Structure 1
Protein backbone atom coordinates (compact mmCIF):
# COMPACT_ATOMS: atom_id res chain seq x y z
CA UNK A 1 0.00 0.00 0.00
CA UNK A 2 1.07 3.56 -0.65
CA UNK A 3 -0.47 6.64 0.96
CA UNK A 4 -0.52 9.67 -1.28
CA UNK A 5 -0.41 13.07 0.41
CA UNK A 6 -1.63 15.43 -2.26
CA UNK A 7 -1.00 18.45 -0.07
CA UNK A 8 -2.90 21.61 -0.85
CA UNK A 9 -4.53 21.96 -4.26
CA UNK A 10 -3.63 25.33 -5.75
CA UNK A 11 -3.32 26.96 -9.16
CA UNK A 12 0.11 27.75 -10.56
CA UNK A 13 1.86 30.85 -9.18
CA UNK A 14 0.80 32.81 -12.28
CA UNK A 15 -2.87 31.95 -11.59
CA UNK A 16 -3.15 29.53 -14.51
CA UNK A 17 -4.59 26.01 -14.27
CA UNK A 18 -2.10 23.51 -12.89
CA UNK A 19 -1.79 19.72 -12.97
CA UNK A 20 0.30 18.01 -10.29
CA UNK A 21 0.93 14.28 -10.42
CA UNK A 22 0.81 12.48 -7.06
CA UNK A 23 1.27 8.84 -8.06
CA UNK A 24 2.68 6.94 -11.04
CA UNK A 25 2.87 3.22 -11.75
CA UNK A 26 3.00 1.76 -15.28
CA UNK A 27 -0.73 1.04 -15.49
CA UNK A 28 -2.01 4.27 -13.87
CA UNK A 29 -1.14 7.80 -12.87
CA UNK A 30 -3.12 10.06 -10.53
CA UNK A 31 -2.95 13.78 -10.04
CA UNK A 32 -4.89 16.90 -9.18
CA UNK A 33 -5.92 19.63 -11.57
CA UNK A 34 -6.60 23.10 -10.15
CA UNK A 35 -8.58 25.42 -12.44
CA UNK A 36 -9.17 28.97 -11.17
CA UNK A 37 -12.49 30.64 -12.05
CA UNK A 38 -12.31 32.51 -15.34
CA UNK A 39 -9.15 30.83 -16.63
CA UNK A 40 -8.74 28.91 -19.88
CA UNK A 41 -8.19 25.14 -19.94
CA UNK A 42 -6.18 24.80 -23.15
CA UNK A 43 -5.35 21.11 -22.90
CA UNK A 44 -4.95 18.84 -25.92
CA UNK A 45 -6.06 15.23 -26.36
CA UNK A 46 -3.90 12.58 -24.67
CA UNK A 47 -2.73 9.11 -25.60
CA UNK A 48 -4.33 7.64 -22.46
CA UNK A 49 -7.89 7.10 -21.25
CA UNK A 50 -8.75 9.58 -18.53
CA UNK A 51 -11.19 9.90 -15.63
CA UNK A 52 -11.95 13.21 -13.93
CA UNK A 53 -13.64 13.44 -10.52
CA UNK A 54 -14.71 16.98 -9.63
CA UNK A 55 -13.93 17.57 -5.95
CA UNK A 56 -14.89 21.25 -5.72
CA UNK A 57 -15.93 24.18 -7.86
CA UNK A 58 -18.28 24.62 -10.81
CA UNK A 59 -18.05 25.03 -14.55
CA UNK A 60 -18.76 23.28 -17.83
CA UNK A 61 -16.99 20.45 -19.63
CA UNK A 62 -17.05 19.60 -23.32
CA UNK A 63 -15.91 16.28 -24.78
CA UNK A 64 -16.95 14.26 -27.79
CA UNK A 65 -19.27 17.02 -28.98
CA UNK A 66 -21.25 17.07 -25.73
CA UNK A 67 -21.25 19.80 -23.08
CA UNK A 68 -22.34 19.29 -19.46
CA UNK A 69 -22.38 21.39 -16.30
CA UNK A 70 -20.00 20.00 -13.68
CA UNK A 71 -19.65 20.36 -9.93
CA UNK A 72 -18.63 18.35 -6.86
CA UNK A 73 -19.18 14.61 -7.26
CA UNK A 74 -19.37 14.58 -11.06
CA UNK A 75 -17.21 11.88 -12.68
CA UNK A 76 -16.26 12.09 -16.36
CA UNK A 77 -14.62 9.52 -18.65
CA UNK A 78 -12.66 10.69 -21.70
CA UNK A 79 -11.29 8.07 -24.10
CA UNK A 80 -7.76 8.47 -25.44
CA UNK A 81 -7.35 10.99 -28.29
CA UNK A 82 -10.72 12.72 -27.73
CA UNK A 83 -10.81 16.55 -27.70
CA UNK A 84 -11.97 17.80 -24.29
CA UNK A 85 -11.76 20.78 -21.94
CA UNK A 86 -13.21 22.53 -18.92
CA UNK A 87 -14.63 25.99 -19.60
CA UNK A 88 -16.89 28.68 -18.16
CA UNK A 89 -15.41 27.95 -14.72
CA UNK A 90 -17.44 30.05 -12.28
CA UNK A 91 -15.95 28.69 -9.02
CA UNK A 92 -12.33 27.59 -8.56
CA UNK A 93 -12.22 23.88 -9.40
CA UNK A 94 -10.20 21.02 -7.97
CA UNK A 95 -10.37 17.83 -10.01
CA UNK A 96 -8.82 14.40 -9.40
CA UNK A 97 -7.36 13.04 -12.64
CA UNK A 98 -6.71 9.36 -13.35
CA UNK A 99 -4.81 8.26 -16.48
CA UNK A 100 -4.63 4.66 -17.69
CA UNK A 101 -2.03 3.70 -18.58
CA UNK A 102 0.17 6.27 -16.82
CA UNK A 103 0.34 9.72 -18.44
CA UNK A 104 3.14 9.81 -21.01
CA UNK A 105 3.28 13.53 -21.55
CA UNK A 106 1.59 13.33 -24.93
CA UNK A 107 -0.32 16.57 -25.26
CA UNK A 108 0.33 19.60 -23.05
CA UNK A 109 3.00 19.82 -20.39
CA UNK A 110 2.13 18.73 -16.89
CA UNK A 111 2.40 22.32 -15.74
CA UNK A 112 -0.46 23.20 -18.09
CA UNK A 113 -2.17 19.91 -17.36
CA UNK A 114 -3.58 17.09 -19.00
Structure 2
Protein backbone atom coordinates (compact mmCIF):
# COMPACT_ATOMS: atom_id res chain seq x y z
CA UNK A 1 0.00 0.00 0.00
CA UNK A 2 1.14 3.52 -0.72
CA UNK A 3 -0.46 6.94 -0.30
CA UNK A 4 0.37 8.97 -3.41
CA UNK A 5 1.25 12.40 -2.05
CA UNK A 6 0.45 15.37 -4.27
CA UNK A 7 -1.59 13.44 -6.85
CA UNK A 8 -4.40 15.62 -8.19
CA UNK A 9 -3.19 18.73 -6.33
CA UNK A 10 -2.70 22.04 -8.21
CA UNK A 11 0.98 22.62 -9.06
CA UNK A 12 0.44 26.02 -10.65
CA UNK A 13 2.32 25.90 -13.95
CA UNK A 14 0.90 25.98 -17.50
CA UNK A 15 0.84 22.50 -18.97
CA UNK A 16 2.65 21.17 -15.94
CA UNK A 17 2.76 17.33 -15.82
CA UNK A 18 4.20 15.63 -12.75
CA UNK A 19 4.35 11.87 -12.40
CA UNK A 20 3.83 10.74 -8.79
CA UNK A 21 3.79 6.95 -9.22
CA UNK A 22 5.15 4.58 -11.85
CA UNK A 23 4.93 0.79 -12.14
CA UNK A 24 5.21 -1.26 -15.34
CA UNK A 25 1.41 -1.53 -15.58
CA UNK A 26 0.35 2.03 -14.76
CA UNK A 27 1.45 5.51 -13.85
CA UNK A 28 -0.30 8.24 -11.90
CA UNK A 29 0.35 11.93 -12.15
CA UNK A 30 -1.09 15.42 -12.14
CA UNK A 31 -1.63 17.70 -15.13
CA UNK A 32 -2.39 21.39 -14.52
CA UNK A 33 -3.66 24.06 -16.92
CA UNK A 34 -4.33 27.58 -15.59
CA UNK A 35 -7.49 29.50 -16.51
CA UNK A 36 -7.07 30.72 -20.08
CA UNK A 37 -4.16 28.32 -20.63
CA UNK A 38 -3.53 26.16 -23.68
CA UNK A 39 -3.44 22.36 -23.69
CA UNK A 40 -0.98 21.41 -26.44
CA UNK A 41 -0.67 17.69 -25.74
CA UNK A 42 -0.62 15.07 -28.48
CA UNK A 43 -2.25 11.62 -28.41
CA UNK A 44 -0.62 9.12 -26.05
CA UNK A 45 0.37 5.54 -26.74
CA UNK A 46 -1.37 4.35 -23.55
CA UNK A 47 -4.98 4.34 -22.37
CA UNK A 48 -5.69 7.23 -20.03
CA UNK A 49 -8.15 8.23 -17.33
CA UNK A 50 -8.54 11.82 -16.17
CA UNK A 51 -10.24 12.77 -12.91
CA UNK A 52 -10.96 16.50 -12.62
CA UNK A 53 -10.08 17.55 -9.07
CA UNK A 54 -10.46 21.33 -9.54
CA UNK A 55 -11.42 23.74 -12.28
CA UNK A 56 -13.64 23.82 -15.34
CA UNK A 57 -13.00 23.31 -19.04
CA UNK A 58 -14.26 21.50 -22.12
CA UNK A 59 -12.61 18.34 -23.48
CA UNK A 60 -12.64 17.94 -27.25
CA UNK A 61 -12.07 14.64 -29.10
CA UNK A 62 -12.91 13.46 -32.63
CA UNK A 63 -15.95 11.67 -31.19
CA UNK A 64 -17.36 14.70 -29.34
CA UNK A 65 -16.82 17.24 -26.63
CA UNK A 66 -18.09 17.79 -23.10
CA UNK A 67 -17.97 20.34 -20.31
CA UNK A 68 -16.05 18.99 -17.32
CA UNK A 69 -15.62 20.08 -13.73
CA UNK A 70 -14.71 18.64 -10.33
CA UNK A 71 -15.54 14.96 -10.07
CA UNK A 72 -15.69 14.29 -13.83
CA UNK A 73 -13.97 11.07 -14.88
CA UNK A 74 -12.88 10.85 -18.52
CA UNK A 75 -11.53 7.83 -20.41
CA UNK A 76 -9.36 8.48 -23.49
CA UNK A 77 -8.19 5.40 -25.42
CA UNK A 78 -4.61 5.15 -26.63
CA UNK A 79 -4.03 7.14 -29.79
CA UNK A 80 -7.16 9.30 -29.59
CA UNK A 81 -6.59 13.01 -30.18
CA UNK A 82 -7.87 15.02 -27.21
CA UNK A 83 -7.50 18.49 -25.79
CA UNK A 84 -8.85 20.61 -22.95
CA UNK A 85 -10.12 23.97 -24.21
CA UNK A 86 -12.00 26.94 -22.76
CA UNK A 87 -10.30 26.53 -19.38
CA UNK A 88 -12.35 28.97 -17.29
CA UNK A 89 -10.94 27.99 -13.87
CA UNK A 90 -7.49 26.60 -13.01
CA UNK A 91 -7.78 22.96 -14.10
CA UNK A 92 -6.18 20.17 -12.06
CA UNK A 93 -6.37 16.63 -13.40
CA UNK A 94 -5.42 13.40 -11.69
CA UNK A 95 -4.17 11.26 -14.59
CA UNK A 96 -3.83 7.47 -14.70
CA UNK A 97 -2.07 5.80 -17.64
CA UNK A 98 -2.25 2.08 -18.36
CA UNK A 99 0.31 0.78 -18.96
CA UNK A 100 2.76 3.37 -17.59
CA UNK A 101 3.16 6.65 -19.48
CA UNK A 102 5.57 6.28 -22.40
CA UNK A 103 5.99 2.53 -21.97
CA UNK A 104 4.53 1.70 -25.39
CA UNK A 105 6.86 4.04 -27.27
CA UNK A 106 7.87 7.67 -27.56
CA UNK A 107 5.34 10.31 -26.56
CA UNK A 108 4.93 13.32 -28.81
CA UNK A 109 3.93 15.90 -26.18
The normalised TM-score by structure 1 is 0.87
Equivalent residue, structure 1, for 2:76: 78
Equivalent residue, structure 1, for 2:41: 43
**Unpaired segments of 5 or more residues in structure 2?**
none
Per the TM alignment, residue 64 of structure 1 is displaced from its structure 2 partner at its CA by 2.9
Contact 1:50–1:80 at 8 Å: present in 2 too? yes
Distance in 2 between the 1:11 and 1:47 partners? 26
Deviates most, 58-67 or 74-83: 58-67
Q: List structure 1 runs of 4+ shifted beyond 2 angstroms.
A: none
Q: Among 51, 54, 73, which residue is 1:53 paired with?
A: 51
Equivalent residue, structure 2, for 1:4: 4
**For 1:41-60, what per-residue CA distance to the aligned partner results, in whole angstroms no more than 9, with x for missing partners?**
00000100000000110010
Distance in 2 between the 1:53 and 1:62 partners? 15
**For 1:11-48, what per-residue CA distance to the aligned partner results, in whole angstroms no more than 9, with x for missing partners?**
32xxx221100000000000011110001100000100
Deviates most, 64-73 or 49-58: 64-73
Local SS of the residue matching 1:19:
strand
Per the TM alignment, residue 107 of structure 1 is displaced from its structure 2 partner at its CA by 2.1
Distance in 2 between the 1:65 and 1:100 partners? 21
Equivalent residue, structure 2, for 1:31: 29
Distance in 2 between the 1:99 and 1:17 partners? 17
**Unpaired segments of 5 or more residues in structure 1?**
109-114
Query: Paired residues, what number?
Result: 105
